[in-house]
């Protein structure tokens, strides 16, 4: 990963980052996830006016009524996929591109799909700037997810669905996993879904709040 670029006070940011990583490593047992977060400059994904929040454990607004998710939730979702490094994974909801850059360090290939073209473009610029070559950014079309490159061994849905989206489950390989917030528009339960030969297994990981997943098999705009 290339060195960070920042306008803020670097030493203060480094202290905040160290504090965040310590706090995450007490709760997240997947060391690969922690290492990827420690290597990734989150300030690049946070707007200039919110730089002081780059290493706080909070979601931050990124415009277009969307947010970069809270670091703890990002870490929890990544850990729940239990990636080894050889997988092809899909992220639904590129947003700022932060989670895609983390996935790029944990899996072999990442496809990330975003419905707001302007966000997809900005995210792709950041991803390239950081030198990540194994991430493909796609602007969402009619179908939920990205069937063109399916099946995926892991799918992360970074927006809230009313029910487990069948269209996405079809894109998971047998034995693969999907992590998805499921529930109402305002509050959801984070679910880990493991696809089996005949059906799927679901485990609840706890309460969370995500922006809505829009479109087919999800919410209306
Ligand atoms: N993972 C992001 C945060 C995502 S916020 C990060 O690390 O910054 C959720 C994103 O999902 C928003 O940008 C929203 O536009 C997008 N989204 C909502 N519905 C979608 C859909 N059906 N397909 C693709 N993206 C969608």
Q: List pocket residues of ligand 1, CB cut-off 6 Å.
A: 66-69, 92-93, 95-96, 98-99, 113-116, 119, 140, 144, 158-159, 211, 213-215, 218
DSSP class of residue 153 equals: E
Q: What's the 3 CA to ligand 1 centre distance in angstroms? A: 27
Q: Residue 215 CA: which ligand 1 atom is closest?
A: 22
pLDDT reported for residue 166: 96
> Which residues, other chains included, contact 139 with Cβ-Cβ below 8 Å and sequence gap of 6+?
113, 114, 115, 117, 120
Domains of the chain: 61-208 (3.40.50.150)
State the burial class of residue 69 (Cβ atoms within 10 Å of its Cβ: 0-12, 13-18, 19+). buried
User: Alpha helix locations (H) across the chain?
Assistant: 10-25, 31-39, 71-81, 98-106, 117-129, 166-169
Q: For a pocket test of ligand 1, which of 73, 159, 167, 212 has the largest count of ligand atoms closer than 8 A to its C-beta?
A: 159
pLDDT reported for residue 10: 77
Torsion of CA 28, 89, 211, 39, to 10 degrees: 50
Best CA proximity match to 92, nearest among 204, 211, 221, 9? 211
Q: For a pocket test of ligand 1, which of 158, 160, 167 has the largest count of ligand atoms closer than 8 A to its C-beta?
A: 158
pTM of the model: 0.95
pLDDT reported for residue 1: 60
pLDDT along the chain (221 residues), means of 10: 57 95 98 98 97 97 97 98 98 98 98 98 98 97 95 98 97 98 96 96 97 93 87
Q: For a pocket test of ligand 1, which of 63, 95, 99 has the largest count of ligand atoms closer than 8 A to its C-beta?
A: 95
Nearest CA, atom 4, ligand 1: 95
Report the sign of the C-alpha dihedral through residues 50, 53, 57, 58, in that order. negative
What SS3 state is found at 96?
coil
Q: Residue 95 CA: which ligand 1 atom is closest?
A: 13
User: Alpha helix locations (H) across 49-198?
Assistant: 71-81, 98-106, 117-129, 166-169
Do the Cβ atoms of 34 and 21 come closer than 8 Å?
yes
Task: Provide the annotated active-site residues.
Answer: 69
Q: What's the 11 CA to ligand 1 centre distance in angstroms? A: 31
Do the Cβ atoms of 53 and 60 come closer than 8 Å?
yes
Residue ranges of E strands in 147-196: 152-157, 172-183, 188-196
pLDDT reported for residue 4: 54
Integer angstrom CA distances of residue 95 from 60, 119, 131, 172, 190: 11, 6, 18, 22, 18
Do the Cβ atoms of 91 and 103 come closer than 8 Å?
yes
Report the sign of the C-alpha dihedral through residues 117, 123, 124, 129, in that order. positive
């Amino acid at each position: 990963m290339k060195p960070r670029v920042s306008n803020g006070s670097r030493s203060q940011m480094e202290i905040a980052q160290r504090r965040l990583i310590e706090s995450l490593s007490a709760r997240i047992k997947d060391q690969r996830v922690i290492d990827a977060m420690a290597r990734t400059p989150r300030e690049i994904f946070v707007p200039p006016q919110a730089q002081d929040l780059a290493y706080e454990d909070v979601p931050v607004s990124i415009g277009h009524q969307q947010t970069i998710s809270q670091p703890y939730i990002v870490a929890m979702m990544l850990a729940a996929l239990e990636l080894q490094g050889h997988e092809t994974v899909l992220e639904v909801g590129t947003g700022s591109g932060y989670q895609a850059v983390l996935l790029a360090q944990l899996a072999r290939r990442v496809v990330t799909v975003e419905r707001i073209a302007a966000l997809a473009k900005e995210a792709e610029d950041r991803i390239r700037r950081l030198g990540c070559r194994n991430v493909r950014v796609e602007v969402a079309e009619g179908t939920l997810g990205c069937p063109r490159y399916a099946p995926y061994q892991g799918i992360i849905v970074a927006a809230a669905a009313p029910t487990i989206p069948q269209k996405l489950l079809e894109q998971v390989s047998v034995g693969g996993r999907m992590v998805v917030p499921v529930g109402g528009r305002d509050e959801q339960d984070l679910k880990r879904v493991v696809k089996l030969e005949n059906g799927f297994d679901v485990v609840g990981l706890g309460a969370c709040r995500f922006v809505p997943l829009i479109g087919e098999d999800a919410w209306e705009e």
